A = this chain, B = another copy of it.
Amino acid sequence: MVKNPSSIPRNTDQKQFLTILSREEALARFEAALFPWPVPTETLRLAEALGLALAEDVVAQVDVPPFDRSNVDGFAVRAADLVAASDLQPVRLTLNMETIACGSLPQLAVLPGTATAIATGGPLPRGADAIVMVEYTQPAEGAAIEVWRAVSPGQFVSSAGSDMARGEVVLRAGSVIGAREIGILAACGTAQVTVARKLRVAVLSTGDELVQPGEPLQPAGIYDANGPIVSAAVTENGGEAYFLGAFPDDEARLETAMREALDSHDVLILSGGTSKGAGDVSYRIIGRLGQPGIIAHGVALKPGKPLCLAVCDGKPVIILPGFPTSAMFTFHDMVVPILRRMAGLPPRVDAQTSAQLPFRVPSELGRTEFVMVSLVQGRDGLMAYATGKGSGAITAFAQADGFIRIDAFVDHLPAGAQLPVTLFTPQVKVPDLVVIGSHCTGLDLVVGKIARQGISVRSLAVGSLGGLAAAKRCECDLAPIHLFDPQTQVYNTPFLGEGMELVPGWRRIQGIVFRRGDARFEDHAAPEAVEAALADPECMMVNRNQGAGTRILIDQLLGQKRPDGYWNQPRSHNAVAAAVVQKRADWGVTIGPVARAAGLGFIPLTQEHFDFALVADRKERVAVQAFLAALLSPDMQEALERAGFSRAC
């Protein structure tokens, strides 16, 4: 973290700062420094061992079954007695005066010409060598049965030890204990097993700005997503995560925390603190924690270059990049294999599928690149749209279906390439409805309604023009848009491309936002307010990005003027409100519900039309019809009105 201007490192220093290793070289050095690692073990009750790896071979201490067992309900007999049995000439056998239930020990031998009733699972009595099913018998006079089928010796009998033999190795060290393995172990009487115990992984976030979820957000603070996400990923990979909290960049305090964490855990993972800024202290501390220290600081990964791998006196210390997406890719690619090997677990297996790239994907030569993709069902199979590339947005990570890996020596992937896609979840579930374009809280209401009907929706907020581009490429069913054409003075319709239809949505009030009490705006109508703002050189505006419907409105307000702040062009209604609340700007244009939520003053300007460009080819799809029905339903129109939107009529 940068503390004062003089601490900003010089350009020349920067170039020497990180010695970038290839992904493979970094992994190889890390493994060489860490292994052999003495896998820690513990002895657990069977139910507690689920999901862990056996540390020792398990030998059956008993035969399974422990005796010759009947597999059906029927009668224990001597096969030789029934050689001539048939429907026409049933054989009569005298019943022995006992019945062998499960768990009852036979007392009488089956002598020639006799039979003993036996239940499924009962132990075979002496003298018997087969079971005749009850279905092929009938009771006869004088405590006897008649049998009309011959049986072969051993029929319906599982002999002792036929499943597991005493002394046999039934499971080997390294086997992961699932329900099937639990069954094997229980069946031969094993109540406890020695397993590789779960790795104890300390997770620690660093950064003065971090606030824990649930706490109030301080100015300039952000919520710590990395601590929870890394802890969850450790748990998902069979470790035991201990989240120790977020620490400010106080070298002495952080060092104490890192030393304590390393003393009582197997692994220490930090996130944050790998920026190139000179304020970072974590990696300086690592040098003092133990030998050999830092193995790799800077790996040719994208995202994930600032990854730092260290081994301190036999324990791994890892600093993940600060952005959550970068942290997760490096964690899965570089850290998970190490953690699993340390825990005696087999390599992780991610589900894969194959999909085609609709567009060329450029890639940086020299870095192994992970590109998130969203899958869409195309005419000839799955299409993989690169998504959220380089954005660091955690929502992009959550909305992607998986990722493709581009090797370091490849500078692009061509359009049309068929590629393996590693899935984030085991099943490729192409959503029923894809909505790409502008976001509106009203849209959440409609989508929520059809989601409750069991329709899966992917909704991506990329702005109106981004949505139209997606619709043109048939990547979505609907593109929510709010674009004003100054020439025709018409909303949205002039922007529709070929094969698109307009579905009317709702109206939103656009207006000028300002901080309550600002005399330049309070109690003024829009024209006077804008005039006052433009007259004051200290008054700063916030604009919107090119392509936003609001931008067109702003340019109309300003005419040829370019007041201070004009070049600050965020991409959302919320960003405008935030800039004004946080005093980075004094006014801007956004929609009513956003102004209200931010507690800002609001001068209404005009009604904006929030509509949908529908890809006509997709109109008849069930999910599209469900969306249209939900949109038009009276309860939805009421709900939209309650939320501050008005009818599109």
Q: Is the CB of B229 within 8 A of A214?
A: no
Distance A129 CA – B585 CA, assembled complex (angstroms):
11
Which residues of B sit under 8 angstroms from A276, Cβ to Cβ? 73, 120, 134
Q: Is the CB of B154 within 8 A of A119?
A: no
Q: Is the CB of A124 within 8 A of B584?
A: yes
Min CB distance A78 to B, Å, is: 7
Min CB distance A375 to B, Å, is: 15
Segment from A63-71, A410-418, A490-498, A630-638 that makes contact with B: A63-71
Q: Is the CB of A100 within 8 A of B2?
A: yes
Min CB distance A53 to B, Å, is: 13
Q: Is the CB of A236 within 8 A of B178?
A: yes
Q: Is A210 an interface residue (CB 8 A)?
A: yes
Q: Is A307 an interface residue (CB 8 A)?
A: no
Q: Is the CB of B117 within 8 A of A578?
A: no
Known: A351-B426, A426-B351. A181 touches B398 (CB 8 A): yes
Which residues of B sit under 8 angstroms from A165, Cβ to Cβ? 439, 461, 572-574
Which residues of B sit under 8 angstroms from A141, Cβ to Cβ? none
Q: Is the CB of A232 within 8 A of B122?
A: no
Which residues of B sit under 8 angstroms from A243, Cβ to Cβ? 47
Q: Is A570 an interface residue (CB 8 A)?
A: yes
- Over the window 98-131 of chain A, the binary record of Cβ atoms lying under 8 Å from chain B Cβ atoms (1 yes, 0 no) is 1111111110010000000111111111111110
Distance A67 CA – B441 CA, assembled complex (angstroms):
20
Distance A146 CA – B425 CA, assembled complex (angstroms):
48
Which residues of B sit under 8 angstroms from A40, Cβ to Cβ? none
Q: Is the CB of A134 within 8 A of B8?
A: yes
Q: Is the CB of B394 within 8 A of A183?
A: yes
| Set B68, B191, B567: member contacting A578, Cβ < 8 A | B68
Q: Is the CB of A102 within 8 A of B585?
A: no
Which residues of B sit under 8 angstroms from A229, Cβ to Cβ? 179-180, 182-183, 186
Q: Is the CB of A187 within 8 A of B324?
A: yes
A contact residues, total (Cβ < 8 Å): 181
Q: Which chain A residues numbered 557 to 606 have a C-beta less than 8 Å away from chain B?
A: 564-565, 567-575, 577-579, 582-585, 593-594, 597-598
Q: Is A57 an interface residue (CB 8 A)?
A: yes
Distance A578 CA – B68 CA, assembled complex (angstroms):
8
Q: Is the CB of B138 within 8 A of A452?
A: no
Q: Is A381 an interface residue (CB 8 A)?
A: no
Q: Is the CB of A574 within 8 A of B178?
A: no
Distance A439 CA – B60 CA, assembled complex (angstroms):
13
Which residues of B sit under 8 angstroms from A161, Cβ to Cβ? 572-575, 578
Q: Which chain A residues numbered 195 to 228 have a C-beta less than 8 Å away from chain B?
A: 207-215, 217-228
Distance A218 CA – B105 CA, assembled complex (angstroms):
10
Segment from A169-177, A261-269, A524-532 that makes contact with B: A169-177
Q: Is the CB of B180 within 8 A of A63?
A: no
Nearest residue in B to A154 (C-beta to C-beta)? B569
Q: Is the CB of B224 within 8 A of A186?
A: yes
Q: Is A135 an interface residue (CB 8 A)?
A: yes
Distance A448 CA – B168 CA, assembled complex (angstroms):
11
Known: A102-B209, A153-B567, A209-B102. A5 touches B117 (CB 8 A): yes
Q: Is the CB of A427 within 8 A of B349?
A: yes
Q: What are 11 pairs between A and B in contact, CB < 8 Å? A: A63-B575, A67-B582, A69-B222, A102-B222, A104-B209, A120-B275, A121-B222, A129-B567, A167-B574, A189-B213, A351-B351
| Set B103, B159, B426, B564: member contacting A349, Cβ < 8 A | B426
Distance A174 CA – B235 CA, assembled complex (angstroms):
21
Nearest residue in B to A321 (C-beta to C-beta)? B120
Q: Is the CB of A185 within 8 A of B160?
A: no
Distance A640 CA – B99 CA, assembled complex (angstroms):
45
Which residues of B sit under 8 angstroms from A646, Cβ to Cβ? none
Q: Is A244 an interface residue (CB 8 A)?
A: no
Q: Is A382 an interface residue (CB 8 A)?
A: no
Distance A186 CA – B104 CA, assembled complex (angstroms):
59
Which residues of B sit under 8 angstroms from A451, Cβ to Cβ? 172-174
Q: Is A139 an interface residue (CB 8 A)?
A: yes
Q: Is the CB of B585 within 8 A of A208?
A: no
Q: Is A354 an interface residue (CB 8 A)?
A: no
Q: Is A231 an interface residue (CB 8 A)?
A: yes
Q: Is A95 an interface residue (CB 8 A)?
A: yes
Of the listed residues A119, A134, A394, A577, the one surrounded by the most CB atoms of chain B closer than 10 A to its CB is: A119
Which residues of B sit under 8 angstroms from A324, Cβ to Cβ? 183, 187
